[in-house]
A and B are shown apart, each in its own frame.
Chain A
Amino acid sequence: MNPLPFSARFARPGWLLAGALFLLSLGGSWALFGPERNGAAADADDTLQVVYHINADDPALHLNALRNLQNHIDGSGMDRLEIKVVMHGGGVSLLQYANEEPDLRATVDTLKMQDVRFLVCGNTLDKRGIGLDDLYDAQPEDRVPSGIGELTRLQRAGYTYIKP
């Protein structure tokens, strides 16, 4: 059988397929390791999204819970923190005790400096006749309409739920 002329070898469909596959892999790896990969890309993996649920009227439990939270932050090694403490029912007393107890107050302050948000259930405040003034360092934006609703919303958004 005659050997194929040079130009005819290039004309065989195998070369075409090989070229297409090569370029396909080139394009894929470009998209995988391209500029976007190293920019904003890694952030989602580096964010610690946690919600702590506190509903007990128990200052010892409050202090322990917040220490757990600090350990959680220290141990996570995450750069970005999106941490919420949702207080609900008897749990809103945490910020009332914080007015009196320096240990608890200092722990709350330290966590707030790390962007931890302390959210209070509006339903509970209304039901128990507690004002934002009665709570340590509580701002209007710290009041959420419903504690349970907030826990639902945050979990739906991907937050990990922890009940200390």
Chain B
Amino acid sequence: MAEHRLNAQDRPSEEILNAFVDGEFSPEDRLNTLKLISSSERLSREVCDMHQLKELVGMAYEDLPTAQSGGGRCRISRSSRSHWFPSMAAGVVALVLGSLAGYEITRDAGFLASGEPTAQIGGDAGETALMVRGDQAGDAAPQVVAATETDQILLHVNEADPKSMSELLDDIEAMYRDAAADGRELNVQVVVHNNAMDFLRTDRAPYPERIAALSEEYSSLRFTACAQTLERLAREEGGAVDILPQAERIDSGVAEAARRQAEGWIYIKV
């Protein structure tokens, strides 16, 4: 009802509303108009919109006074400023980006020593450092992380007496025990060739039960025998040479050792 009445007769004219928004009234008139506006929801929304419009116009012409006062010369200065401002801004952004890019490039290339010392402190510190760098490298990250979260170790055996073979098995046991204690995954591949082949030969293996037990317990442990050595032995002895059921044949012991190192495996010669 109030709305209706207001619409019918008391609605202030556009002129009055504009004068109110522009603050051109005396305090008394202003108070009256304010009362009137607050009595109608639609009117107050209308006035609010007008206020908003006024603010926007004000913002758009913030530097208007200089333009108005100076005529042609000022217009040139304003236009040249508006052209130079983006290029200056672009320059600053480019400088910052360029510095950052240069810094990243030099650090990734190993020019900066900052990342290196942490890698030398210890296994765990090295892992985190590598993982952080991996994250920054983006696409390369999964490979780096995979190489460090799981220790991949190749044990190369080409000369072994029974005593050192026993020690090798002790070492493997200790490696898995330590890795479990540290909560790390472990991949171990034993590569046997040349004069150490007795280690895996069915007819001469000194500790076949231990090899069977270890293989049973640790699925990521592999015993691999060089096929070339086996073929040579077969030729020399005039009959096939059998290896333990837990052992696998690989094409070449030396090639496998080289391949694994290229893949980032840790190499230990027993």
Contact = CB atoms under 8 A, between A and B. Distances in A.
Partners in one complex: yes
Interface of A: 7, 10-11, 15-16, 19-21, 23-32, 34, 36-37, 40-45, 49, 53, 55, 82, 89-90, 123, 127, 145-149, 151-153, 155-158, 161, 163
A158 B120 contact: yes
A81 to B, nearest CB: 13
Nearest to B111: A41
Contacts of B102: 27-32, 34
A38 to B, nearest CB: 10
Lowest 7 CB-CB distances: which A-B pairs, in order? A27-B98, A31-B102, A163-B269, A28-B102, A24-B98, A24-B94, A11-B83
Nearest to B114: A40
30 contacts: A10-B84, A11-B83, A15-B87, A16-B86, A20-B90, A20-B93, A23-B98, A24-B95, A24-B98, A27-B94, A27-B101, A31-B103, A31-B105, A32-B102, A40-B112, A40-B114, A82-B120, A89-B171, A123-B171, A123-B174, A146-B175, A152-B151, A152-B266, A152-B268, A156-B126, A156-B151, A156-B266, A158-B119, A161-B267, A161-B268
A23 to B, nearest CB: 4
A20 B120 contact: no
A157 B126 contact: yes
Nearest to B147: A156
Contacts of A30: 98-99, 102
A26 B96 CA distance: 10
B106 A37 contact: yes
A89 B269 contact: no
A147 B269 CA distance: 12
Contacts of B266: 151-152, 155-156, 161
Contacts of A148: 171, 174-175, 268
B265 to A, nearest CB: 9
B112 A149 contact: no
B268 A156 contact: no
Contacts of A28: 98-99, 101-102, 105
Given A20-B91, A89-B167, A157-B123, A44 B116 contact: yes
Contact-size category for B: 35 or more
B174 A146 contact: yes
Given A53-B268, A123-B171, A148-B175, 5 more contacts: A23-B98, A24-B94, A32-B106, A149-B175, A156-B148
A31 B98 contact: yes
A124 B12 CA distance: 101
Contacts of B76: 7
B75 to A, nearest CB: 11
A7 B98 contact: no
Contacts of A49: 120
A130 to B, nearest CB: 14
B95 A27 contact: yes
Contact of A7 (B80, B122, B153): B80
Nearest to A43: B113
B18 to A, nearest CB: 38
Nearest to B109: A32
Contact of A151 (B92, B96, B268): B268
